Chains A and B, each alone.
Chain A
Amino acid sequence: MSGLSGIGVKVESGAAAPDEIYANTLPLLHEIRHALARLVESGEPTVIDIQSIPMGPGDMNRLMDALGEGEVRAEFEALGKTVIRESRYGGVWIIEHLNGSGGVAGRFIEITWVPSLLQAQREDVEAGLEALADALAAAGN
């Protein structure tokens, strides 16, 4: 027998996952708290690129658990899916850009009133206006 099936594999299961804390979640939550205070006091938004921060296995899950789910969730398809959702803390948005194969291409926390990507973009609106006018003209209206 050849190939992977010929390799003896011992699967260890049933053991509890290590409960080690890598200490990278708490500082981020404090950073988010500071950014939120800045938004409230001066209206200044903040974007945190969480892909660029060293995270241990499970750290990202801990962070997402801590932020939880809020009231708003939106998705759009442009170069792969993008999911924008508000956390349980109003004004703290989690933005995940996925690529065509479902992998995470970018992950940001945006502390703002409304993420800019949720708004219609001027260029798309202008293109839409032109397309609608053409469609009406083509229909003789």
Chain B
Amino acid sequence: MAASKTVGDVLRAHGVSRRGFMKFCAATASMMALPPSMVSTVAAAIENARRPSVIWLPFQECTGCTEAITRSHTPTLEGLIFDSISLDYHHTLMAASGQRAEDAMMQAMEENYGNYLLLVDGSIPTEEFESHSCTNGHTHLSMLKDAATGAAAIVSVGTCAAYGGIPKANPNPTKARSVQDLITDKPIINVPGCPPVPTVLTGVLAHYLVFGTIPELDPYGRPMAFFGQNIHDRCYRRPFYERGQFAETFDDEGAKKGYCLYKLGCKGPITYNACATVRWNEGTSWPVQSGHGCLGCSEPDFWDKGSFYRPLSAAYWGDARTVGIGAAAGAAAGLAAAALARGKQKKAQQEEKA
């Protein structure tokens, strides 16, 4: 079956030359946040990597995660990463429907039992609300438990699958829970974000493809390579923060000059994600570059942390006038956090080499 092919076979079938292959590996290493010196290692691993079977189950979600990832597809590099996996079930994307689609999923699960990668987006209603989210007559809770049994690892795609997300927001009308709340005996990689950065998901798949392992994770189950540093430390507006230059409103002179958005509620200092470097829409821009503060969408319970437009310092101390003090304290804490994160990333890279 398709999964028995190596990634090298797939690339050769696409007529990719060695030069093209090395270009693919350079872009893949970049996607995985590996240093350029790792390109030859990536090339050697990709050449012989077997295509993993992937089953993608969408649960209580808005399809935004799938949209973000499929819309990011370009006909070449990132697309080839997806060609390099055997996506055996995704009910939004697959041509088959109804019973045939379900049969395809069961067949893939049986043939690859213990080895397939399970991707989940969306949270899962539980208890008396379990039946509020079903596919083909099966509750999503039962589908998750069945599919998780034979999975080698699970990737929770988006904040809803990773932490419950918007469905779990107060008052959590369906008693929604995250994948890691319900499955505790499998390795789980959380790729949060509302939606997640497409390149980050591609990078996680590439890591699994190349190394056959799950990447090093932070305490929230997120890959360190992409979530090891916070938005604030990697923000190009950081120099304005250091100089105490802030936008006070969304249309003042400070905003026009691109000053720091801290006072407008930016959650960059408490948010870990790769937006500031990887960006969106083929690296075109990201929310802060567009003039809006970070919402912190890759953090647990981001929807219940108060107004998106309330400065972090005001949220904690209840007085917006203290924001200046907060900014000064934040700068010192930010530098320490940056040093710690850099140390962790270096350690991750060294372990990768080993």
Contacts and interface: CB of A to CB of B under 8 A. Distances in A.
A121 interface: yes
B236 interface: yes
A56 B237 contact: yes
B258 A99 contact: no
A20 B260 CA distance: 12
B136 interface: no
B258 A54 contact: no
Interface stretch (A3-11, A63-71, A86-94, A101-109): A101-109
Contact of A49 (B30, B75, B282): B30
B314 interface: no
A22 B74 contact: no
A11 B85 CA distance: 45
A47 interface: yes
16 contacts: A18-B257, A22-B258, A54-B234, A78-B19, A79-B23, A79-B76, A99-B282, A100-B75, A100-B76, A104-B283, A105-B282, A106-B27, A108-B36, A117-B19, A117-B22, A121-B17
B27 A97 contact: yes
B235 interface: yes
A79 B234 contact: no
B40 to A, nearest CB: 10
A123 interface: yes
B289 interface: yes
Given A79-B20, A108-B26, 13 more contacts: A18-B258, A20-B258, A24-B236, A47-B39, A56-B289, A76-B19, A97-B26, A104-B282, A105-B74, A105-B78, A106-B26, A106-B77, A121-B19
